[in-house]
Amino acid sequence: MENRIAYSVALVKCESYEIRTLENSLIKLLSLLGGIGEFVKSGERVLVKTNLISGRPPEEAVTTHPSLVEAVVNLVKRAGGLPAIGDSPGERATFTGLSRAYRIAGLEQVSSKTGAPLVRFEDGAMEIENREGHFYKKFTVTKALRDFDKIISIPKLKTHPLTYITAAVKNNLGFIPGLRKTELHLRLPDRESFSEMLLDLLGAVKIDLVVLDGIVAMEGNGPYSGLPRKVGAILASKNPVALDFVASRVVGYANPLEIPTNRIAVERGIFLPGKIEILGEKIEDLQVRDFRRIPQDFSQKVPKFLLKWLRSLLSVRPRIVYEFCNRCYICLENCPVKCMERRIDGRILIDYANCIRCLCCQEFCPRGAIIAKRHWLVGLFTG
């Protein structure tokens, strides 16, 4: 069973977050992979790692839906496991701020209902190694990982300005506490280096099972300010890259190698897409072909010796939509290079000469007032 599961991705139709419907769909999903007992044994301590980018209500499709978290926790308990729930938001996470985020996202209620404790990833850090990492062989992650025997990752299917989609591979970034993630953006401002890092991190933190929330995904200006989009699917796999391959096809990518983490995994030889076995539904029956994507950044296709001169033209960059801006200045707080300036009239200006195109400002804008935009000239040739 182990070898078969390694590249298997289970795909099941699920159109509702109603808990009984969801639990039945989840049981069906995991049965395709051998059942929850294939991943969790009695007495094991299990971290259920959600996607909690910030405290937002479930209906906004920013975070993993609490009903799916509850369903996974209940299955872990039935298998005799000891579940706990945790994640680290992207912005500065104070004790009260994290508690508020858990409450608004509905996870505090899940904890109270199921008895699964909420874990604070910011309470301490430790170093872990990936000796086979290409660029990063060490990472500073939450020391809470020491307390668990197994990890079940439950990401939300969304668009993302750097990785195009955020699903299984990107969800691992939450193991890096708080603002340390912003430091990584500063050191890794471009799409390629950031994606390389995510693959190195994937080799450092072992994920035992991924269950992807694709019932209502996010399209457009994700991962924070996009629009909820009904997809009606949940996916599961032991292999995060395999799951991302299938998820990218579900949201309309004919070629999953357009997703940089997928392509890099294949280039490194750590993943062979030809070995994927899709179990359950057919992708074609659930595929959303008009899913609104993040604009493609063509700078990655330019030779490095030309990139210095053409980067400004070809790269996607942040643009402020002032009529949506409420002047909360969260973007200023989260810009790793501090290239955003508050004018006397309260408006924000972006210094594009120093902007590293990490799009942290876009990612954390709670109003959707910052969008990822490519130069209008590129559109003339790409449509």
Q: Give first-to-last CA distance, the chain, whole Å.
A: 46
**If we measure between CA atoms, which residue out of 170, 189, 187, 182 comes closest to residue 317?**
189
Mind listing the domains of the chain with CATH numbers? 2-286 (3.40.50), 298-382 (3.30.70.20)
**Maximal C-alpha separation, the chain:** 64
Q: Are 215 and 233 in contact (CB under 8 A)?
A: yes
DSSP string, 87-99: E--SS---HHHHH
> Which letter, b or e, does each residue of 231-244 get, where b requires 16 or more Cβ atoms within 10 Å of its Cβ?
bbbbbbbbbbbbbb
Given a cut of 50, the residues of the chain with pLDDT beneath it are 1-4, 378-383
**If we measure between CA atoms, which residue out of 82, 52, 367, 40 comes closest to residue 208?**
40
Provide the pLDDT for residue 208: 97
Provide the pLDDT for residue 2: 47
Cα gap 212→116, rounded to integer Å: 20
Q: What are the φ/ψ torsions at residue 246 (nearest 5 degrees)? A: -70, -40
Provide the pLDDT for residue 382: 43
Q: Are 277 and 9 in contact (CB under 8 A)?
A: yes
Q: What is the pLDDT of residues 126-144, one digit of tens each?
A: 999 999 999 899 999 999 9
Q: What is the pLDDT of residues 238-247, one digit of tens each?
A: 999 999 999 9
**258 SS3 class:** helix
E strand or H helix that includes residue 140:
strand 138-142
Q: Whole-prediction pTM value?
A: 0.86
Crossing angle for the helix pair 260-268 and 191-204, nearest 10 degrees? 60
Provide the pLDDT for residue 380: 42
Q: How many CB atoms lie within 10 A of CB 117?
A: 12
**DSSP 8-state secondary structure symbol assigned to residue 275:** G
